[in-house]
Structure 1
């Protein structure tokens, strides 16, 4: 009797699986080709958990530049190479503006804010954020002065090491974060401020988790990872610490602000909340303010500081590059005057090196995944609504059809035969199209002013010499992080 029941249940299960597969096939007919997916885990066993983007590149050799893979049970279309990524994000920008609802970010932000929003919420918050950042000088003089001032604090702190070896990681995080703090909170923090240092340490731990294999598994199987022991529970506790810090700053602004004279991003948002309090369709309310400030504060710290740290490693590894940059700096600026953004147009080699650092590091090889909000025709395929879109930025920044020698660090990628700076449309470290990084202009300004200021005042080396520096990133599932090196800053 028990055997008969078991056979009957097995038969019912097989019928249900057949019906589900048939329904799935009818919905996915017309999708790009891709490898056979296993039940539940999809194509995850075929991906290297430490360098999954390399596994996807390998699969694209078989299935082409537009292919379907399954990340667990989730269907994803991966775009490989400059042409495919540009065609989607730029030429068909309206079709690919959706943002994947990554479970970690949804829980961390409680579903609010600019980072993971779609539709009208995304349009309102992005337009407001870009306008406000411009008003406070992103790409203009106001922000430039803040970065120049912060660079002076950085130089003074480096001087305290007196040409002895040190790890610059935390110092660079402090400096870059202070620029964001000036913009968002209207204040900077001392490098010895214990609360500020603890907050930066917490943010670093959160981002390390997000970039780790476990963090990516959380986004694929949140219902499972939530129920298992592990550091994910500690990370969400860290998120509450960050949230409390932001809530405290917002409350301080509410208590002290004067309508009509905004001091920073929070004041501008609070003013907008008051202006639209009778608008039922508004996206300007407290939860969106809290989450968007969290987006700006966390995203604006680690990526830029890591890129600067990687650049210093490049200068040590290639002392001839450092020396040539310093010659250009001395000729255009000298060693006394503060660098400004106007100087960049007269410093093509320096500009080219900074671009090449970003291209070569390739800090976010996947970009942040997009999502189709409706059925989308693309290259003769039909990508169903709700499909994850993965623009493989690594494949763009290393595309052999766009770069002369993509696997080698070479500033000539951004210089013409006369030594003038030249743009390359395949330079997409900030992604491209309507979902490109909202802080791109700020990041570019930070990289230029901080790096030029550092080389203006110091020459960099390390105890083990250039050969001891490994420029190969310390790979993780989602982010390419530069390796840590002790360095020596010798005053010039």
Structure 2
């Protein structure tokens, strides 16, 4: 394994996060699995689909840890799912997966609820009567309300001010991710804790979200679960009771709060940002938008809501959604993994506690896997007969034991929200718009710049 030394930790890590192409350039010299030294700290980089796949799936249990960095510790303190490691993570992930399935993940019950949110979203667009609008907030609201239904058992009104504050807090947390302040905090936590700045605002936003969740938990504790009121909090409260007499119970209120926080963090921003990119692509590529609508018109009657089962008869629409997810590439560098014991990736031995960065962007743009990786091309997901298929290199949800547990939920949301909007409206860029900036805004996710579109009823 070849190595290269990076002198300035914070500057270089930020630059790598912002410009994953740099990793590909380094890989051409040092190979697709290489070491970067951030000061005294070695980090393994996986670049290109084959390397990412081999690294994350050959011995997945060996690299299922998370480095408990100062930022991760301040945000989660090794609780919950997303940023936790070891015994805590295993218990929380296993329980969350089991509970999400029991609440309807992958079944018609939850799909029906998502369709209801799609209906509300369509009505919001219709109420704009073709006037210029930025879809970002409305998409975030729709996606977040799906998580609310699963976790809290109810949705929130668009007029709820506290819910607005919750979404603003989530946005603040994501903007901090991958920023220079993020890496300065990891490098100099003792100093950053004494200085004002974005990191203080981020930590304050985390506390606001935690308080929001605590209030929902208190409300649930004051009422018993009924047959028509079943959600994640009730299941977790029952789990706490079940294991409360154990010496070191794996389930407690702090883990419950952080697990809910992680479900919001992982499930809201990613899906809504991808949808925001998808609508922008439809405005930029009106010929593709017209082809999507022509396919839907042949399958679904005017005025009828599209259901998830319809995707089987809408291969081109399904391909466009997947290509939007590939091309937008909203998480260029995956959250770092940690070797929990000595292991091997290909012929390279890795010691316990080695940190691994999988370059998701390099897999989604790998020229060995995609015909035109730097172009928006739905044909990447269609065979020669026009049938939908999903290439192995499509890994926006990562791979291995840390693969996103909300993958099925996200896919259902994106298909139903996107297809129902395109079925009801033709999207145009707002009049007077000259240039559209398609370069991403950097943060925890890669977001599009602010833009406005007009949704014209068909």
TM over 0.5: yes
* In the alignment, structure 1 residue 33 sits paired with structure 2 residue 2: yes
Contact in 2 for aligned 1:37/1:43 (Cα 8 Å): no
- Worse-matched range after superposition: 435-444 or 225-234: 225-234
Contact 1:90 1:433 (8 Å CA) reproduced = yes
CA contact (8 A) 1:339 1:452 kept: yes
Q: How does 1:244-263 map to 2 (within 5 A)?
A: 244-258=211-225, 263=230
Matched, 1:190 2:157: yes
Preserved CA contact (<8 Å) 2:67 2:355: yes
Q: How many angstroms does 1:260 deviate by?
A: 8.2
Q: Distance in 1 between the 2:434 and 2:24 partners?
A: 29
SS of residue matched to 2:156? coil
Q: Secondary structure at the match of 1:480?
A: coil
Secondary structure at 1:256 match in 2: coil
Quick check: 1:427 aligned with 2:399? Answer: no
Give the corresponding residue for 1:122. Answer: 89
Instruction: Confirm whether residue 153 of structure 1 aligns to residue 120 of structure 2.
Output: yes
Gap change, CA 1:269 and 1:481, over 3 Å in 2? same
1:306-363 Cα offsets, whole Å, 9 max, x none, are: 1111100000000011111111111112222221111111111011101100100110
Shift of 1:464: 4.7
Deviation of the 1:475 alpha carbon: 3.4
Deviation by residue 1:247-285 (Cα, 9 ceiling, x = unmatched): 000011111123888610010010111111123353111
Q: 1:128 to 1:47 in 2, by over 3 A?
A: closer
Q: Distance in 2 between matches of 1:249 and 1:321?
A: 43
- Counterpart secondary structure, 1:211: coil
Match of 2:370 in 1: 403
Among residues 42, 59, 74, which one is paired with 1:107 in the alignment? 74
**Would the alpha carbon gap of residues 99 and 331 (structure 1) be closer, same or farther in structure 2, given more than 3 Å must change?**
same
C-alpha distance in structure 2 between counterparts of 1:43 and 1:196, whole Å? 34
Is contact 1:364–1:479 with CA below 8 Å preserved after alignment?
A: yes
Which structure 2 residues correspond to residues 183-222 of structure 1 after superposition, within 5 A? 183-222=150-189
The match for 1:59 is 26
Q: Say which SS state the counterpart of residue 111 (structure 1) adopts.
A: coil
Give 1:370-449 correspondences, 5 Å limit.
370-449=337-416
Q: Is contact 1:365-1:393 (8 Å) kept? A: yes
Residue segments in structure 2 that go unaligned for 5+ positions in a row: none
After superposition, the CA RMSD in angstroms is 2.0
Q: CA deviation at 1:401?
A: 0.5
Question: Counterparts of 2:291 and 2:248 in 1: how far apart (Å)?
Answer: 55
Structure 2 counterpart of 1:96: 63
Cα distance in structure 1, aligned partners of 2:25 and 2:292: 37
Is the 1:43–1:70 Cα contact (8 Å) retained in structure 2? no
Q: Residue 490 in 1 paired to residue 452 in 2?
A: no
Please say if residues 42 and 71 of structure 1, whose CA atoms lie closer than 8 Å, have aligned partners that are also in contact: yes
Residue in 2 aligned with 1:29? none
Cross-structure match for 1:224: 191
Call closer, same or farther: CA 1:487–1:37 in 2, change over 3 Å: closer
Cα distance in 1, alignment partners of residues 292 and 248 from structure 2 = 52
1:168-187 alignment, distance < 5 Å: 168-187=135-154
Partner SS, residue 372 of structure 2: coil
Deviation string, structure 1 residues 111-167 (Cα, Å, up to 9, x no partner) = 211112223222221111111111111121111111111111111112221111011
- 8 Å CA contact 2:17–2:333 kept in 1: the answer is no
Runs ≥4 in structure 1, deviation > 4 angstroms?
42-47, 259-262, 464-467
Q: Return the index of the structure with the highest Cα Rg.
A: 1
Please name the residue that 1:83 is paired with. Answer: 50
Structure 1 position 136 matched with structure 2 position 136: no
| Residue of structure 1 equivalent to 2:418 | 451
Alignment: residue pair count: 458
Local SS of the residue matching 1:36: strand
The change in CA–CA distance for 1:135 and 1:82 in structure 2 (over 3 A counts) is: same
Q: Secondary structure at the match of 2:44?
A: strand
What are the Cα deviations for residues 464-485 of structure 1, in whole angstroms up to 9, with x where unaligned? 5897333332234x53212221
Q: CA separation in 1, counterparts of 2:47 and 2:425? A: 40
Counterparts of 1:171 and 1:261, CA distance in 2: 28
56-65 or 431-440: which moved more? 56-65
Other structure's SS at 1:401 match: coil
In structure 1, the gaps of 5 or more residues are 1-31
Aligned twin of 1:14: none
| Structure 1 SS opposite 2:374 | coil
Task: Give the TM-score taking structure 2 as reference length.
Answer: 0.95
The offset of 1:72, in angstroms, is 4.6
CA distance in 2 between partners of 1:467 and 1:434 (Å): 45
Distance (Å, rounded) in 1 between the aligned partners of 2:119 and 2:266: 23
TM-score (structure 1 length as normaliser): 0.89
